[in-house]
Structure 1
């Protein structure tokens, strides 16, 4: 049994924050533990809402897979505000866990998927045709996310029911056009880790298309993903850099960032999400990636000690 109160003598202690369902971490996240140990850093998984944890006993607290916070985001944000040496920091967590940040990025000139919002209690009339994605503004892993063909009367009814279901739960619904180029190209996630000069590009992966139809409210914690390595293009890297350049507070404080892009109607990349809180980092999909993350953690520990 882990003792969350007694620091390991002589070694920096790092908490890898997770949730009860992944109490021993998701398999990909465990890949960083050995490279950290090689740097004489003791890392352990810790459940974010475990009341027995003494967070002050850690030299760094790294958000990894606390994927059950979506239904109690206010509690999670309040928890983050009380944790010392948290990365990414609590103000970033507050900003990034509500996808209405997309409006801020769009206003700053970042190409994003056009997004409308339906607040709880508001009525919503679906478009007459076209394919659309509906999801909550606070979500992860494509949970509570569906794809609807508005020319299909049944889909229109299901879309209205989806928005109503979210609103009845006090959640904000996002309405986005479905960009069909993703069916062939998939989604590209670009991963960045902290380095001596700030965030640096690490690697990229491809996610296969995930949305085949309406959400019926019966999915589990997250939908299965089809992942493969990908070489980022110059256009994708340029959009990612534009996105990161306008993150509130700057990127020097960040341990990691993930920029998720899909092809727009003209084929150029557009931002679908900026993941700064608890993204999968896909450590197993590029050589040396666990070491790069371990070195990023070491860099943050070094800065915290000075």
Structure 2
């Protein structure tokens, strides 16, 4: 065995790094139940910033991405870092693919919210009517996101797209699905089972983040989280989404599938979170224990 690697883990000796950032050096609140569940099972758990130059990543039996949410302006650096970390979950190939929302185009056969992309150097002609969301393909937490009512706010929407592309970023434009204001989003959480396949754990309702078009500026609302029981249609859609993930990316330890009803009520994928999703552990009793077992069994 290489001297740089720790001895084979037993459950009482397992060392797990939960990856965070400078904004949450002691972990984001939603991750504390996971830390506690792992420690209750005898694991040594450290909260480690992804960009901490003193971090000894090979010393950990598993490195789990949790809240490294300041990576967006340094995405290339973050991806390069991920490729250097042994035993990272989800794996670096997944991180590289999933941190650019153009991955939506790779999910062949899955019901995805219609999305248009505008790359640097390209121009965009706004739709004639409707409400539309403009955001960059590389973002987190609704950063640089706006909601616009057309045609009244066409100039504001165009300026937003231009601002993103002028900064070298790719813009994405999606219809604002009004069901988010009533039904909300449904986030379905999956953790790997003993055989490595993803199994449904729990679901949560996410309230609207964009509270409405006013002057076209970014309007992140108060996102409320509550427990939700998914419908058979939502479970079926989530299964189709997960089946469409390119298999060469490697095994998944966890996944979050964010769905919203389309105009006809059919669930549509809004985002597939495979890098650093909130798990909403506080809204689902037993979920932290299930995830802790998943992590320890994967060693």
1:47 lines up with 2:49 in the alignment: yes
> Which residue, 65, 74, 77 being the options, matches 1:75?
77
* SS at 1:110 equivalent: coil
After TM superposition, the structure 1 = structure 2 runs for residues 16-165 of structure 1, keeping only pairs within 5 Å, are 16-105=18-107, 108-152=108-152, 155-165=153-163
| Cα deviations by residue, 1:238-266 (Å, 9 ceiling, x for unpaired) | 00011111211279721110000000111
| Cα deviations by residue, 1:217-253 (Å, 9 ceiling, x for unpaired) | 6x7xx76411111101000000001111121127972
Alpha-carbon contact 2:109-2:244 (below 8 Å) kept: no
Partner of 1:304: none
Two-structure CA RMSD over aligned residues (Å): 2.0
Gaps of 5+ in 2: none
| Cα deviations by residue, 1:27-46 (Å, 9 ceiling, x for unpaired) | 01011112111211111110
The answer to which of 116-125 and 14-23 deviates more is: 116-125
CA gap of 1:173–1:251, structure 2 versus 1, over 3 A, is: closer
Alpha-carbon contact 1:194-1:299 (below 8 Å) kept: no
Partner of 1:298: 296
Moved over 4 A (4+): 5-10
Whole-angstrom CA distance in 1 between matches of 2:209 and 2:248: 32
Whole-angstrom CA distance in 2 between matches of 1:103 and 1:182: 22
Number of residue equivalences: 290
Alpha-carbon contact 2:6-2:61 (below 8 Å) kept: no
Gaps of 5+ in 1: 302-306
Whole-angstrom CA distance in 2 between matches of 1:57 and 1:41: 13
Partner of 1:182: 180
CA gap of 1:283–1:195, structure 2 versus 1, over 3 A, is: same
Partner of 2:169: 171
TM-score in terms of structure 1 length:
0.90
* SS at 1:120 equivalent: coil
TM-score in terms of structure 2 length:
0.92
